[in-house]
A and B are shown apart, each in its own frame.
Chain A
């Protein structure tokens, strides 16, 4: 009976894929702006585990912490990375709190395409040091494998997730300072600072 149960358990768990994304991202080539910022990467974000479907879990936490820390250090100086909003001191210009809204996965069996695809949708709450919200920015990222030949399901999902995370970093560097509300706030700040 126990043996049968073990076989059944192994069969059931064998059908699920647990992917741990382990990837160290390169340092970004960018000159950061002279503006202090606090990046809040809370416990949920640090340990984030996506469940795009009932058979797949993707552990994104460690990789997205690495990516966001590196990307934001290319945007702001000084940048402080903290684990809780309460740790953000009052002497900062901006507080940024990213969170994962959704992770989607498409496999060759879903899409009939010869690729694995991952979509990660982030939300970035941007506030001033005193908690005044500036914007809640939606940051979508997409990644796919070139093909699925000779790739196991786990390896392919990890590869697509890494591409999606790289895409998130690229979008951050490209578009962050173009967020209309943030741009307006920065203009306002510099106007206030230059006022006699």
Chain B
């Protein structure tokens, strides 16, 4: 074998390294399914704080796609914030239930929520972090050809939390936290071979399945 070290590295990384660990913690006051009436909708929103902080947009879109074929209708973030403009902008969005209750005391806002038939609001919060970068890679071109040689790895952690608010009785229905971590590799054997961990999509998958299982469509 010509490159035994590299070959075993690639194989080891492919088999075990890109594996990720995902944990899902959820809190619900009851095990009963969350009832959703016929025609009622669920809106998914990402937390953002007046410019300083914003929930990963890719994750919000991913979760929206995951819930597309659920038995209930999902309202995309943009549609929801436009329908209730300007009360769910970064500057004005309620961060706690107490603020939501105050907001819903306004009959115009309450009427609009009812008119749009939005029953539940899923607030998403979280981020993706990369750290622990190790190794090095060198790329070059010579008269005989070019290539990259070396090895790099880095860890990726994602943490997302979803909080489900009932806009009808103004209560918190559920809270789910998904943590996922994994290691990505870049191996240079002439061509750089990326072996990327799928932590974000696994966290999205886990949260999507969990949320989907919470809701139960009321018959009639």
Contact = CB atoms under 8 A, between A and B. Distances in A.
Nearest to A117: B51
A144 B91 CA distance: 13
Nearest to B86: A170
B54 interface: yes
Interface string A142-156: 111011000000000
B85 interface: yes
A26 B177 CA distance: 33
A6 interface: no
Contacts of A174: 86, 91-92
Contacts of B87: 29
Contacts, number: 49
A173 B90 CA distance: 14
Interface in B130-163: none
B170 to A, nearest CB: 17
Contacts of B112: 29
Interface in B109-124: 109, 112
A104 interface: no
Nearest to B89: A170
A29 B91 contact: no
Contacts of B191: none
Nearest to A29: B112
A167 interface: yes
B190 interface: no
B85 A169 contact: yes
Closest 6 pairs between A and B when the two form their complex, measured CB to CB:
A170-B86, A170-B89, A26-B85, A26-B82, A170-B91, A31-B108
Interface of A: 25-31, 71, 117, 142-144, 146-147, 166-167, 169-171, 173-174
